[in-house]
Structure 1
Amino acid sequence: MPALHAAPVNRHYLDKVMAVAEIMAVEVIVDILDVRGLKLVAKGTRVTRALQEKLILHKLRQPFESCVRVSGGVDQRAIAGIAGRLVETSPSLAHILRASGKGSAAVLAQLARLEFGDALRMMLTVADRNGAHALEHAVLVSLLSVCMAQKLGLGEQDQMVAGLAGMLHDIGELYVAPAFLARGKRLLPHEWSHIVVHPRIGQMLIDELGGYPAAVGRAVAEHHERFDGSGYPRQIGGGQISAPGQAVAVAEVIAGLLLTDHPLERAELALKIIPGEYSHELLSAISGALRMATPDAAADPVRAQGGEGVEHLFWRIAAILDVGEGLMVGVAAKSPGMLELLHKTMERVRTIRRAFISTGLDVYVRPESDLGAGTDQMLLFEREVAGREIQWRLRDIARDLALQTSAPDEQVLLAPLVRMLDDDLPGAARAKPLAPAPAAWSGSVLAGGSMRHGGA
């Protein structure tokens, strides 16, 4: 990836800066020169829309990001205020803070010590103005990252790295076309190519502009990696992922669930659904927080939406395996690269099928099952969450499969499999066998008790 000063100004980020400049004072702090040394904008100039076209047409001698400063933007005081409010209003967050052994006062004090230069303050301000709750999410991930780092037994320096990386984990998204980040938009598998680069963009920005240890940028680059190698952008796993990177990855998942009903239960289900995705030490932090939840919180009514589609999901997984294994002995068998890709893909699908069984969803597939109306609401809740998480994992595989096939003939060959993985399409799994699910699929977690008591 080229250095910032060797490429034109990113038009998406520039447009967001211009939007901020319409409501806040954004000033040029050094002369902006093109690569030939020609002055484009003088130091002290107020940034306005009139500069946008001039800047977008030129490569700059130094990054645009290091040439501007915002007055009255996001600073440590604003971050500390948001962090304090989150701790006061989220009992679940408070439970996690206590379970990590750090305590809210210590974590808040650590966040108050985070420092950001002009370039990153500008980015945090842009994020704050660009999307509802974007800065709140960043602060929440930062808080949780420090907790997870503490749970891993990391020292103060690595905890600070995790906190900084948590705060900055999504700044790469500021450089992505807004159409691909629109709230509620469902991306097609091939469209994920616009999104999967944002961790690497974030790392590049931090390394060139932040003045931080390289570990901060690395942890940002790893925040969507998974311990079992199923994440992105590099699909690394285990010890290849830094400890702060692991902490931010788990924190980011938890943060996305803390504003829902029964967030700790949802988080534990989401993190344990596929064994090996996350380290055991980090999973224990969530389990500890759940055990520390007050009786009143645990007694809150569960509003499960039922388990519609679970049976269809089961047969869709079976159909995906049939199609994939058919491809492996068909045309794809002539290509070693294609065969290896399909082998890895099918192994991931088989892992998901095992998760379907181990979480107890299979009990709803068997004809003799009598788990319908009147079923315990927590079981229905767990069925809903587990089913949704499995569907997300199938979509992850669709994304990876689409992004790893570039040759047109390979894309055509794999298109039906990608579609089946991506969505619960009508007709995607019509060939439902007449035989019931094997009797050996008994003894699953939901059939014999609540999944939240299962192992990691």
Structure 2
Amino acid sequence: MPETALLPDSAAPAAGPEALDDTHYRQSFGALCEDQVVSATNAIYAENGTKLIEKGSRIDRELYARLVQHKLRDPIDQQIGIEGMVNHESLEAMAAALLDQATVPRLLAASLGRPAALLQPLRELPLPGPIALKLTLMRDRCPALLQHALATLLVAMFLADRANMPTPLRSHLAAAALLRDIGMLHMDPAWLAADRRLNAQERRHLHAHPITSVLLIRQQGGYAPEVAAAVFEHHERLDGSGYPRGLRAERISPMGRILLLAELVAALGHKFGEASPHRLGLVLRLNHRALPGALIAQLLPALQGDVLASKVQVEEASQRFAGVANAFEQWTELQQDMKPGEVRGEAFAWLNSRLAGLRQSLTEAGGPPEQPSFLLAHAAGDDLHVADALALGREALWQLGSICGHALQRWPALADAERDHAAGDAAVARWCAWTGAMLAGLPGSSVD
């Protein structure tokens, strides 16, 4: 696949130092200079040939800030190093610890029977100095981000093994898994807080991070085109509901399909903790249209090892399903209130399609969402089935919140209650407002 096909010209600016906003990256690196021993690996020269500092000079926050104000002969990341910088050995040690301690990687390694096979591609991926520098910054300033990258890598390697991916390609996939979020180093670190609710503008910046990551990989060079393609696609979905380009199945590369599933599994595995095997299975089945089914079929058996029947309250599951049912009924009522001939519009059609897809998935998973008692009736008296119903309700509520968020991102004006909206937009705005309030008032819903 030619590299020009991986990132359309309209999707991002030309790759070059001027194409990226380095403000937050420089601030974070400046803070790192206060905590770690950072020094010049070569003498650093200005573009006009003036020597600015000697090789081996210690670089503190103030000196770093002065250096990056200069036009340098070579990029600064190519001329500095950090004591104890990330390398292949330290990455492998962190990944091996995840195989012992994290639920999903541990289960996958046990299912495979060859844990070393999950680590081997990590030893072979390119790790030039500037990339190691960024990963070190990630390790020391955003440790959860690097842990997530390594967990994603391990899940991706399991899927690659199950798909019989050729060995050389596994190294490319490992590189894509490790580097897919380096673009987040250029975001405001406050946005990465787990409990932060992003506004529409912040969410747009978040949705652009795959593009930033691709630009950084291209700037560095030395990585196969497949790496950039998979990084670009790691938040896409087969049904076109992903970002940054809303690509559908036929436009997502095989490596991208593995990475998008691995990223989701790693994220949810961390979020759900010890409950992850059971809940993950439900999430994957409920989202089977958006995710690669053949790969899911390889994951589900491996996730069954630690399924535990937890004691849960039928009342909590009932609350969740009632909330889901009310959201669907609210949309039906809003449609019925519209008069014949009133303009529906793009937002109306989009929301109608997304809710129809969710309704079908819920029906296939357990029963029509407008009949919340259906699944609970079958679960009564069985702790494991009640847990199944509880997890399904939790995921359905998350899906509703996600639909609201995407609607307000695509059509930000819908959030303005004072605006005079067309009939279809007004219906979407009212549904999003109603659903957002319902989710906020329901314990343990979209942020559970």
Instruction: State whether TM-score is above 0.5.
Output: yes
**One of 272, 296, 299 as aligned partner of 1:286:** 299
- Give the structure 2 partner of residue 395 of structure 1: 401
**One of 15, 27, 34 as aligned partner of 2:27:** 15
Greater shift in the superposed pair: 55-64 or 354-363 = 55-64
Q: 1:3-402 maps to which residues of 2 (within 5 A)?
A: 3-7=15-19, 10-29=22-41, 44-54=56-66, 57=69, 62-90=74-102, 92-97=104-109, 99=111, 103-259=114-270, 260-290=273-303, 293=305, 297-298=306-307, 300-304=308-312, 306-307=316-317, 308-323=319-334, 332-333=343-344, 339-360=345-366, 362=368, 365=371, 371=377, 375-402=381-408
Following TM superposition, by how much is the alpha carbon of 1:37 offset from its aligned partner in structure 2, in angstroms? 7.1
Q: 1:368 to 1:256 in 2, by over 3 A?
A: closer
Q: 1:23 to 1:277 in 2, by over 3 A?
A: same
Contact in 2 for aligned 1:273/1:355 (Cα 8 Å)? yes
SS at 2:39 equivalent: strand
Following TM superposition, by how much is the alpha carbon of 1:109 offset from its aligned partner in structure 2, in angstroms? 2.2
**TM-superposition CA deviations, 1:307-363 (whole Å, max 9, x none):** 123212211123235546877966644xxxxx3443233211111122232222648
Following TM superposition, by how much is the alpha carbon of 1:173 offset from its aligned partner in structure 2, in angstroms? 1.0
TM-score of the superposition, structure 2-length normalised?
0.81
Whichever residue aligns with residue 138 of structure 1, its letter is A
Greater shift in the superposed pair: 45-54 or 33-42 = 33-42
Whichever residue aligns with residue 248 of structure 2, its letter is G
Following TM superposition, by how much is the alpha carbon of 1:251 offset from its aligned partner in structure 2, in angstroms? 1.0
Contact in 2 for aligned 1:37/1:61 (Cα 8 Å)? yes
TM-score of the superposition, structure 1-length normalised?
0.80
Looking at structure 2, the residues matched to 407 and 420 of structure 1 have their Cα atoms a distance apart, in angstroms, of 14
Q: 1:96 to 1:278 in 2, by over 3 A?
A: same
Q: 1:249 to 1:368 in 2, by over 3 A?
A: closer
**TM-superposition CA deviations, 1:202-246 (whole Å, max 9, x none):** 111112115211211221111111111111111102131111111
Whichever residue aligns with residue 246 of structure 1, its letter is R
Length, aligned pairs only: 419
Contact in 1 for aligned 2:39/2:82 (Cα 8 Å)? yes
Whichever residue aligns with residue 283 of structure 1, its letter is I
Following TM superposition, by how much is the alpha carbon of 1:68 offset from its aligned partner in structure 2, in angstroms? 2.8
Greater shift in the superposed pair: 31-40 or 225-234 = 31-40
Looking at structure 2, the residues matched to 302 and 126 of structure 1 have their Cα atoms a distance apart, in angstroms, of 39
- Percent of pairs identical after alignment? 25
Whichever residue aligns with residue 302 of structure 1, its letter is S
Q: 1:72 to 1:109 in 2, by over 3 A?
A: same
Q: 1:33 to 1:158 in 2, by over 3 A?
A: same
Q: 1:58 to 1:393 in 2, by over 3 A?
A: farther
Q: Return 5+ residue gaps in structure 2 as ranges.
A: 1-12, 441-448
Q: 1:406 to 1:330 in 2, by over 3 A?
A: farther
Which is richer in helix? 2
Following TM superposition, by how much is the alpha carbon of 1:127 offset from its aligned partner in structure 2, in angstroms? 1.1
SS at 1:195 equivalent: helix
Following TM superposition, by how much is the alpha carbon of 1:256 offset from its aligned partner in structure 2, in angstroms? 2.0
SS at 1:133 equivalent: helix
Looking at structure 2, the residues matched to 374 and 198 of structure 1 have their Cα atoms a distance apart, in angstroms, of 44
Contact in 1 for aligned 2:347/2:428 (Cα 8 Å)? no
Greater shift in the superposed pair: 418-427 or 275-284 = 418-427
Greater shift in the superposed pair: 261-270 or 303-312 = 303-312
SS at 1:22 equivalent: helix
Looking at structure 2, the residues matched to 191 and 234 of structure 1 have their Cα atoms a distance apart, in angstroms, of 17
**TM-superposition CA deviations, 1:356-380 (whole Å, max 9, x none):** 3222264894579874996422222
Looking at structure 1, the residues matched to 32 and 415 of structure 2 have their Cα atoms a distance apart, in angstroms, of 45
Looking at structure 1, the residues matched to 136 and 427 of structure 2 have their Cα atoms a distance apart, in angstroms, of 43
Q: 1:406 to 1:371 in 2, by over 3 A?
A: closer
Q: 1:389 to 1:217 in 2, by over 3 A?
A: same
Contact in 1 for aligned 2:210/2:244 (Cα 8 Å)? yes
Q: 1:216 to 1:363 in 2, by over 3 A?
A: closer
Following TM superposition, by how much is the alpha carbon of 1:26 offset from its aligned partner in structure 2, in angstroms? 1.8
Contact in 2 for aligned 1:223/1:248 (Cα 8 Å)? yes
Q: Return 5+ residue gaps in structure 1 as ranges.
A: 334-338, 430-456
